[in-house]
Amino acid sequence: MPSDKPAEQAHHDRILILDFGSQLTQLIARRVRESGVYCEILPFSVTIERIRDFGAKGVILSGGPASVIEFGSPVPAAGLFGLGLPVLGICYGQQTLCQELGGTVEVGDTREFGRAFVDIIEHCALTEGKWSVGNREQVWMSHGDRVTKLPPGFRTVGVSEGAPFAIIADDARRYYGLMFHPEVVHTPHGADLLRRFTHDICGCDGGWTMAAFREESIARIRAQVGSQRVICGLSGGVDSAVTAMLLHEAIGEQLTCIFVDNGLLRAGEADEVVTLFRDHFNIPLVHVPGTDQFLSALTGLTDPEAKRKAIGGTFIEVFEAEAKKLGGADYLAQGTLYPDVIESVSFTGGPSVTIKSHHNVGGLPARMRLQLVEPLRELFKDEVRVLGRELGLPEHFVGRHPFPGPGLAIRIPGDITRDKLDLLRKVDTIFLEEIRSHGLYDAIWQAFAVLLPVKTVGVMGDGRSYDQACALRAVTSTDGMTADFYPFPHEFLGLVATRIINEVRGINRVVYDITSKPPGTIEWE
> Could you say which of 12, 39, 91, 248 is catalytic?
91
Residue 232 annotated in active site: no
Q: For residues 478 and 517, is the Cβ–Cβ distance under 8 A? A: no
Written as one letter, the residue type at 431 is F
219: left (phi over 0), alpha (psi -120 to 50) or beta: alpha
Enumerate the H helices of 15-67 as residue ranges: 25-34, 48-54
Q: Give Cβ neighbours of residue 27 (< 8 Å, ≥ 6 apart).
A: 181, 183, 184, 479, 481
The whole-angstrom separation of Cα 363 and Cα 355 is: 6
Among the listed residues 259, 266, 265, the one whose alpha carbon sits nearest the alpha carbon of residue 323: 259
Q: What are phi and psi of 113, to 5 degrees?
A: -135, 125
CA gyration radius, the chain: 25
The whole-angstrom separation of Cα 443 and Cα 63 is: 30
> Could you say which of 183, 249, 374, 383 is catalytic?
183
Residue 330 burial (C-beta neighbours within 10 Å; 0-12, 13-18, 19+): middle
To the nearest 10°, the Cα dihedral for 116, 100, 32, 67? -50
Written as one letter, the residue type at 370 is L
Q: Give Cβ neighbours of residue 298 (< 8 Å, ≥ 6 apart).
A: 307, 310, 311, 409, 415, 416
Helix or strand holding residue 246 (H, E): helix 238-251
Name the E strands within 290-340: 331-333
Residue 181 annotated in active site: yes
* Torsion sign across C-alpha atoms 237, 241, 244, 247: negative
> Could you say which of 143, 181, 186, 359 is catalytic?
181
Q: What are phi and psi of 309, to 5 degrees?
A: -65, -40
Written as one letter, the residue type at 237 is G
Active-site amino acid positions: 91, 181, 183
